[in-house]
Amino acid sequence: MSRIDANVYVDGFNLYYSALRDTPHRWLDLQALAVRLLDPDFAPHRIRYFTAPIRIRQVDPEKRRRQHLYLRALRSIPNLSIHLGYFLSNSVRMPLANTRPGQPPLVTVIRTEEKGSDANLAAWLTRDAAKRDCSAAFVITGDSDFTGVIRMVRREFNFPVHVIDPRRSSSRRLRSVSTSYRLLQRHLLPECQFPARFTDRAGVITRPKMWDD
């Protein structure tokens, strides 16, 4: 019996900050994860990964290089595509949480916001549903901002959208609009890692040492 083609849409920053940051599981093989996450009736057709190139910061100048290595590892997956947004930084005046006598109530901070990834995910999910690029979608996110597009895709295209939330607590908003909803099982993460060292067309890729612990 043939399985149903499904596309997997990965909200990269939401997955990272909800389940991967400060863990030894950041070298995550999304193909291996997709195979384990999908119900037995489904097979991964495409994996779409949404993120933005990070900027070099003095506090961790190697962070961009680690992201580059990870994106290179992801590009070794044949059915995976990477969709990039961008970062926008602005100087803004914001209030201090706790002020002391003589301190100004407002300070100038650099606020960096990731832009475009959410819009890209919403656009590709809608496009694929409209074109029937697959028969179902699995979205890895805990961001309730996707509630509207998921509701619309299901209603307008009669298209099933399953949500896998990488956070530790559930979202009633996402649960209310999705075909199915469940939390990401954390025990899958160590089982779905790239090899510490492997080869692509450009040569050898090695997991960043900082990600070993």
Amino acid at residue number 138: F
**Cα(110)–Cα(95) distance, rounded to whole angstroms?**
13
Report pLDDT digits (tens) over 105-155: 776 665 556 666 899 999 999 999 999 999 999 999 999 999 999 999 999
Note the pTM of the prediction, 2 decimals.
0.87
pLDDT at 58: 53
pLDDT tier at 202, thresholds 50, 70, 90:
confident
pLDDT, greater one: 56 or 37: 37
* Residue reference for tokens 């070993």: 212
Report pLDDT digits (tens) over 150-188: 999 999 999 999 999 999 999 999 999 999 999 999 999
pLDDT, greater one: 210 or 109: 210
pLDDT at 135: 96
pLDDT at 104: 73
Q: Which two tokens stand for residue 85?
A: 């947004």
**Cα(50)–Cα(85) distance, rounded to whole angstroms?**
7
Q: Which two tokens stand for residue 203?
A: 């040569």
**Cα(187)–Cα(128) distance, rounded to whole angstroms?**
30
pLDDT at 1: 57
**Cα(88)–Cα(55) distance, rounded to whole angstroms?**
10
pLDDT tier at 29, thresholds 50, 70, 90:
very high
Q: What is the DSSP letter of 208?
A: -
DSSP 78-113: TTEEEEE-EEEEEEEEEE-SS--TTS-SEEEEEEEE
pLDDT at 61: 73
The beta-strand segments (E) located in 52-173 are 80-84, 86-95, 106-115, 136-140, 161-165
